[in-house]
Structure 1
Amino acid sequence: MADEQQVNGAAQDDAPQQQAFQIQRVYVKDVSFEAPNSPAVFRQEWKPELSLDLNVNNTKLEDNTYEVVLKITATNKVNGEVAFLAEVHQAGIFTIADSLEDGQRAHLLGAFCPNILFPYARETLSSLVSRATFPQLNLAPVNFDAVFAQHIQRQQQEAAEATQQ
């Protein structure tokens, strides 16, 4: 009988607590691919000029639930002409507990969630480029923590400049 009470007591101690962060869903929200100068671009020597644009947006869906969208646009030019333009909007729905401070929530939405989404977006982008028979596109990892820190620093500088005027 004493053993039963300990087991029941342990079960109560192990009761699920509210998780501070959960991934609800990861999905592709939008995909676009253009090769405006094909087939002529396939006949040129491949000396690509790649430019990447990354953007992160988040929207509060309901209490504690957010959609985060990582947008990656890759534009590749050869001899000044666009070889291809590929864009992926990789999204996720995340639950973030109210118990977190605003700074922690902002870091999760601006850095942690994009880190989760990036490998999916990178794979989708690579697949699009390969299916169009262009040479494989392998994006290097992105340090979203550093990008987020720069964003916060830039906001603080702008706020400080606004108060000085």
Structure 2
Amino acid sequence: MSDQQQQQPGQDGQPFFNIQRIYLKDLSLEQPNSPHIFLEQEQPTVEVQVDVAATQLAEGVFEVTVIGTVTTKVNDKVAFLVEAKQAGIFDIRNVPADQMDPLLGIACPTIVYPYLRSNIADTIGRAGFQPIHLAEINFQGLYEQRLAAAMEQAQVAGGNSGIVMPDGSKATH
């Protein structure tokens, strides 16, 4: 046996990323017009919304949640509405500050999203409808859109974005 004490991951100064857990945080299904909606012959319209949220739980521990909402209508009547929140708990240590937001907004949602897709498709199928398979999402594109929208909103609010650059200066665009 060695007398050296084992170091915990991330204590040696090296970047550390670990998935602690992926779990279904919330799931709801509404079928306000059942059973009559099953008799409709028209093609349904489908609206899908996806959102991402990240919360720090402890030092180096983050929860990233991907929220998916699927609303399907037939002749302007809601056939069903599914809302699901799939989350993951991640250990992230010794990652440079300028890389944390992209990690939480791109990499983590990319890991969590396939579980959300599966749970939504399964729920819709078990509700008696044809499963809807959600398309892949480019979380980098979504992240960049949000960043651009936040900067634009900051410019409208007075030109000071409130974003502090790694060198300590204020972002001006």
Provide the TM-score with structure 2 as the length reference.
0.81
- 1:43-66 Cα shifts (integer Å, max 9, x gaps): 011411111111111111100000
Please tell me whether the aligned partners of residues 29 and 82 of structure 2 are also in contact (alpha carbons under 8 angstroms): yes
Provide structure 2 residue ranges, at least 5 long, that are not aligned to the other structure: 1-8, 161-173
Aligned to 1:7: none
Aligned to 1:111: 106
Aligned to 1:153: 148
Tell me how far apart the structure 2 counterparts of residues 65 and 121 of structure 1 sit (CA, whole Å). 21
One-letter amino acid of the counterpart of residue 90, structure 2: F
- Runs of at least 4 residues off by over 3 Å: 16-19
Tell me how far apart the structure 1 counterparts of residues 74 and 47 of structure 2 sit (CA, whole Å). 12
SS of match in other structure, 1:163? coil
- More displaced, 49-58 or 114-123? 49-58
Provide structure 1 residue ranges, at least 5 long, that are not aligned to the other structure: 1-15
**Is the aligned partner of 1:48 residue 2:74?**
no
**Is the aligned partner of 1:94 residue 2:90?**
yes
Tell me how far apart the structure 2 counterparts of residues 46 and 116 of structure 1 sit (CA, whole Å). 36
Bigger proportion of residues as helix: 1
- More displaced, 43-52 or 118-127? 43-52
Give the number of the structure whose alpha-carbon radius of gyration is greater: 1
Aligned to 1:13: none
Give the alignment partner of residue 140 of structure 1, picking from 116, 135, 139: 135
One-letter amino acid of the counterpart of residue 69, structure 2: T
Paired positions, count: 149
Provide the TM-score with structure 1 as the length reference.
0.85
Tell me how far apart the structure 2 counterparts of residues 164 and 143 of structure 1 sit (CA, whole Å). 29
Query: Percent identity among equivalent residues?
Result: 39
- 1:112-132 Cα shifts (integer Å, max 9, x gaps): 111111100000000000001
Please tell me whether the aligned partners of residues 22 and 87 of structure 2 are also in contact (alpha carbons under 8 angstroms): yes
